[in-house]
């Protein structure tokens, strides 16, 4: 009897050893968190002195399949024969939305660190971040400007993951300021006509826009809320003149803490002309939420030469 039990146990043990387990897929094998960052070369060229939102660098970021990778900051260094002090500031853009405050290149090497918000590379996914720069109107003509991440440690993630960096090298985009300085449009914030309360079609921001240097046509304005209201707290936003002429389509809600309003058609401002505009929307926030829309960066006023 004991020998029969022993034979049965040995057979069961053999069965357990021979039964195959689940086959690992390629995705299961890719469990190491990793971020690959590639600098993409773009056609360079000349831009006017004082030009804004000039493409300086594009970064293509790819995450391994282990998990999403949140990019916290990028540190860039100036390259080329021009002075980094000719660049008024750099900002990071993702899907056409500014994702960082402007950073001014500093020091002899022209280093700028951009702190990012809302940039997460999905697992097994790829996204692109554009670095745009503003050129000073006093920049040296024909100076050469480019920017590079230079080394993997300049890409900071949370949590920290290894970064593989592919540099553009000599193929990096080169920007050369030339010619006369372009005009600008300045925006001065004005007081609201009344205390902001819950309700529809409230005036939530007022601006005085002034063209300087030459005739300009205003194409878009980005407002950022310095208060606590977010997303659907403000709805059905649109821009109009002080005479209630509609300037833009209706935007359903804030995107996080900001809204980019495109003027259709562009608003033409003659040299030294000032125009009053106002942003209207439905306030759906509770009393605990605060609203203070402002122009955060000069580049948030998008304008070009009037045709």
Does residue 161 surpass a pLDDT of 50?
Answer: yes
Residue spans per domain, the chain: 32-181, 184-305
**CA–CA separation, 31 and 65 (whole Å):** 7
Residues counted in the chain: 307
- Give per-residue pLDDT as tens, 226-247: 999 999 999 999 999 999 999 9
Does residue 5 surpass a pLDDT of 80?
Answer: no
Give me the residue label for tokens 């033409």: 268
Percent of the chain with pLDDT over 90: 71
**Residue 96: predicted pLDDT:** 86
Q: 141 versus 307: which is more confidently predicted?
A: 141
**Residue 170: predicted pLDDT:** 80
Instruction: Please spell the DSSP secondary structure of 94-156, one letter per residue.
Output: ETTEE-B--B--BTTTTEEEEEBSS-EEPTT-EEEEEEEEEE-TTPPTT--BEEE--SGGGEE
H or E segment to which residue 240 belongs:
strand 234-241
- For the chain, the distance separating the N- and C-terminal CA atoms, rounded to the nearest angstrom, is 103
120, HSE (Cβ side, Cα atoms, 13 Å): 8
**Secondary structure letter of residue 33 according to DSSP:** -
**Residue 206: predicted pLDDT:** 97
- Give per-residue pLDDT as tens, 81-140: 899 999 999 999 998 889 999 999 999 899 999 999 989 999 999 999 999 999 998 999
Does residue 258 surpass a pLDDT of 60?
Answer: yes
183 by Cβ neighbours in 10 Å (0-12 / 13-18 / 19+) ranks as buried
**Residue 80: predicted pLDDT:** 87
Per CATH, the number for 184-305 is 2.60.40
- Give per-residue pLDDT as tens, 41-80: 877 789 999 999 999 999 999 999 999 999 999 999 999 8
Question: What is the average pLDDT score of the chain?
Answer: 88
Which band of pLDDT confidence, cut at 50, 70 and 90, is reported for residue 307? confident
Domains 32-181 and 184-305 share a fold: yes
Alpha-carbon dihedral angle through residues 300, 301, 305, 307, given to the nearest 10 degrees: 120
Does residue 23 surpass a pLDDT of 90?
Answer: no
| Topology (CATH) of 32-181 | Immunoglobulin-like (2.60.40)
């Amino acid at each position: 009897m004991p020998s029969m039990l022993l034979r049965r146990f040995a057979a069961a043990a053999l069965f357990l050893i021979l039964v195959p387990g689940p086959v690992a897929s390629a995705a299961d094998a890719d469990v190491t968190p990793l971020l690959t960052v590639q600098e993409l070369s773009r056609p360079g060229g000349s831009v006017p002195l004082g030009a804004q939102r000039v493409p300086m660098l594009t970064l293509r970021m790819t995450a391994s399949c282990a998990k999403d990778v949140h990019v916290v900051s990028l540190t860039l260094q100036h390259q080329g024969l021009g002075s980094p002090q000719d660049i008024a500031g750099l900002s990071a853009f993702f899907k056409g939305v500014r994702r960082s405050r402007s950073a001014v290149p500093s020091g002899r090497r022209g280093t700028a660190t951009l702190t990012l918000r809302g940039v997460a590379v999905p697992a097994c996914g790829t996204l692109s971040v554009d670095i745009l720069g503003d050129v000073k109107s006093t920049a040296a003509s024909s100076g050469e400007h480019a920017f590079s991440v230079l080394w993997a440690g300049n890409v900071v993630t949370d949590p920290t993951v290894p970064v593989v960096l592919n540099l553009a090298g000599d193929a990096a985009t080169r920007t050369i300021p030339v010619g006369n300085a372009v005009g600008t449009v300045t925006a001065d914030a004005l007081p609201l006509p009344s205390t902001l309360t819950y309700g529809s079609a409230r005036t939530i921001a007022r601006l005085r826009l002034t063209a300087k240097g030459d005739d300009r046509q205003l194409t878009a304005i980005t407002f950022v809320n310095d208060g606590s209201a977010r997303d659907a707290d403000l709805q059905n936003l649109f821009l109009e003149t002080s005479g209630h002429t509609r300037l833009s389509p209706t935007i359903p809600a804030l995107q996080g803490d900001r809204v980019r309003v495109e003027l259709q058609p562009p608003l033409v401002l003659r040299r030294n002309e000032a125009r009053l505009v106002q942003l209207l929307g439905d306030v759906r926030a509770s009393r605990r939420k605060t609203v203070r829309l402002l122009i955060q960066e000069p580049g948030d006023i998008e304008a070009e030469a009037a045709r």
